[in-house]
């Protein structure tokens, strides 16, 4: 009898031990992210979360950016992927196709923090099927940088329309040292790879113009691209190097006074202030042809469908997008918090750049979330834009090439 009781007790203890081990495993959330900044706040955030959520352990792994998505896709196929990870919108179609994402809609409906998320962010990050798979954690929106000192010198006001933008750019394009050569240009246009957002802000804002069939080849679409070409070819308000200029050249020219306006986001504001102080400011990009368009840069978290404890994974994801925690997260990223209260008290960037970003968010847009967009940004747009700027092809030809990419 005693031997039987002992056997039963041992079996019960073993079962309990296995159950506890299973529970511990189920409540360990594996989180992948990528931070280059040496001031990494993740351990502090993990400690805070674990104190607030006893029984849930966060295993946060900082994966190198240059191999981040290769590792993520491979791990999903091998069933060794994370429970939660940082993700960008251009990865969403593939992740959905892989069946890798867990819908967040029910959690968002029940979460007190949903109303705290900045207006338009959840709309921008929603999937084509109408479901929400991403929870925003940081963002940027592009805006117009302008040299406040030059504007004050010429008694100009920041442009709000494309017509005002052209007039200001022409006034700011000057020979300031009297040698007969222009040494200041009104706008620093990024004609090289990555500059599609400059073109888009001046073209896609126009009513009925986008990437749908026939939209870029419409009268409004061609007029938008022609406006950009005229600024360079006729008005000569871009530097002669514009067809080849990339990020480094555009930002450098603005900081050294060769250009008076350019387009970028808050991520470059610290360097701008360091170089220029109060001589630099920002406003939303101008309204063109009846509308506004500016680029949205994203980073969100996603809960994966293979997560062992999806509820614990959601708790961690929503923790990172909650007021206070989100501010701590973004102090290391150089981007902006997604919560309204954190944005209102944000002091990591100068307020004028925060205001320009928040005021741009209502009309921020994304390029089509399709496989064609990689070809558009990497080859089709840069080559067509350069050829159009130097006069090898027309605005209509350029737009037709882009239309064919997306719609043929």
* SS3 label, residue 303: strand
Domain that holds residue 397: 143-295+366-407
DSSP character at residue 285: P
Of the candidates 268, 325, 265, 274, the one whose C-alpha atom is nearest the C-alpha of residue 296 is 265
**Alpha carbon distance 66, 214 (integer Å):** 37
Other Cβ atoms closer than 10 A to 273: 16
Residue 234 lies in a domain: yes
Residue 319 lies in a domain: yes
Q: Are 32 and 100 in contact (CB under 8 A)?
A: no
**Alpha carbon distance 318, 306 (integer Å):** 18
Strands 84-87 and 28-33, how do they pair? parallel
Beta-bridge partner residues of 86: 301
Of the candidates 33, 29, 41, the one whose C-alpha atom is nearest the C-alpha of residue 68 is 33
pLDDT digits (tens, 9 = 90+) for 224-234: 999 999 999 99
pLDDT digits (tens, 9 = 90+) for 316-374: 999 999 999 999 999 888 789 999 999 989 999 999 999 999 999 999 999 988 879 88
What is the secondary structure of 261-297 as a DSSP string? EEEE-GGGHHHHHHHHGGGEEEEPPPBBTTB--EEEE
User: 162 and 245, same structural domain?
Assistant: yes
User: 262 and 209, same structural domain?
Assistant: yes
Of the candidates 222, 194, 190, the one whose C-alpha atom is nearest the C-alpha of residue 206 is 222
pLDDT of residue 37: 65
CATH number for the domain including 179? 3.40.190.10
**Alpha carbon distance 196, 158 (integer Å):** 22
Give the tokens for residue 316.
């961690």
Residue 265 lies in a domain: yes
Residue 169 lies in a domain: yes
User: 384 and 251, same structural domain?
Assistant: yes
Residue 19 lies in a domain: no
**Alpha carbon distance 344, 341 (integer Å):** 5
User: 339 and 328, same structural domain?
Assistant: yes
pLDDT of residue 211: 97
pLDDT of residue 22: 39
| pTM exceeds 0.85 for this model | no
Q: Are 287 and 362 in contact (CB under 8 A)?
A: no
User: 172 and 250, same structural domain?
Assistant: yes
∠ CA 403-198-216 to the nearest 5 degrees?
20
Q: Give counts: helices (H), strands (E), the chain.
A: 19, 9
User: 150 and 109, same structural domain?
Assistant: no
Positions of E strands within 12-78: 28-33, 57-62
Number of domains in the chain: 2
User: 241 and 329, same structural domain?
Assistant: no
User: 157 and 204, same structural domain?
Assistant: yes
User: 220 and 165, same structural domain?
Assistant: yes
pLDDT of residue 180: 84
User: 223 and 260, same structural domain?
Assistant: yes
């Amino acid at each position: 009898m005693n031997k039987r009781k002992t056997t039963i007790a041992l079996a019960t203890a073993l079962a309990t031990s296995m159950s506890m081990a299973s529970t511990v495993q189920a409540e360990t959330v594996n989180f992948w992210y990528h931070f280059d900044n040496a001031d990494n706040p993740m351990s502090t955030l993990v400690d805070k979360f674990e104190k607030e959520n006893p029984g849930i352990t966060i295993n946060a792994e900082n994966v190198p950016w240059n191999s981040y998505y290769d590792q993520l896709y491979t791990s999903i196929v091998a069933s060794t992927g994370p429970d939660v990870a940082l993700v960008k919108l251009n990865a969403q179609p593939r992740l959905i196709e892989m069946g890798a994402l867990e819908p967040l809609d029910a959690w968002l409906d029940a979460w007190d923090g949903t109303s705290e998320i900045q207006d338009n962010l959840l709309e921008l990050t929603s999937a084509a099927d109408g479901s929400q798979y991403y929870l925003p954690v940081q963002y940027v929106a592009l805006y117009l940088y302008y040299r406040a000192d030059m504007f004050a010198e010429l008694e100009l006001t920041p442009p709000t329309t494309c017509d005002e933008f052209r007039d200001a750019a022409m006034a700011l394009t000057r020979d300031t040292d009297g040698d007969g050569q222009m040494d200041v240009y009104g706008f620093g246009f990024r004609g090289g790879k990555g500059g599609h957002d400059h073109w888009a802000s001046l073209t896609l804002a126009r009513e009925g113009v986008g990437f749908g069939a026939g939209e870029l080849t419409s009268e409004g679409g061609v007029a938008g691209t022609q406006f950009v070409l005229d600024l360079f070819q006729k008005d000569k308000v871009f530097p002669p190097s514009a067809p080849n200029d990339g990020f480094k050249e555009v930002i450098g020219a603005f900081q050294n006074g060769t250009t008076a306006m350019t387009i970028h986001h808050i991520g470059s504001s610290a360097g701008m202030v360091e170089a220029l102080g109060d001589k630099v400011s920002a406003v939303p990009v101008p309204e063109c042809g009846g509308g506004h368009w500016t680029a949205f840069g994203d980073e969100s978290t996603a809960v994966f469908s293979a997560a062992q404890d999806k509820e614990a994974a959601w708790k961690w994801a929503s923790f990172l997008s909650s007021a206070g925690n989100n501010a701590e997260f973004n102090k290391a990223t150089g981007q902006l918090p997604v919560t309204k209260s954190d944005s209102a008290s944000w002091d990591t960037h100068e307020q004028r750049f925060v205001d320009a970003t928040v005021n741009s968010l209502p009309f921020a847009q994304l390029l089509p979330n399709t496989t064609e967009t990689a070809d558009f940004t990497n080859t089709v747009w840069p080559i067509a834009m350069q050829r159009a700027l130097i006069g090898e092809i027309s605005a209509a030809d350029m737009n037709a090439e882009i239309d064919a990419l997306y719609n043929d």
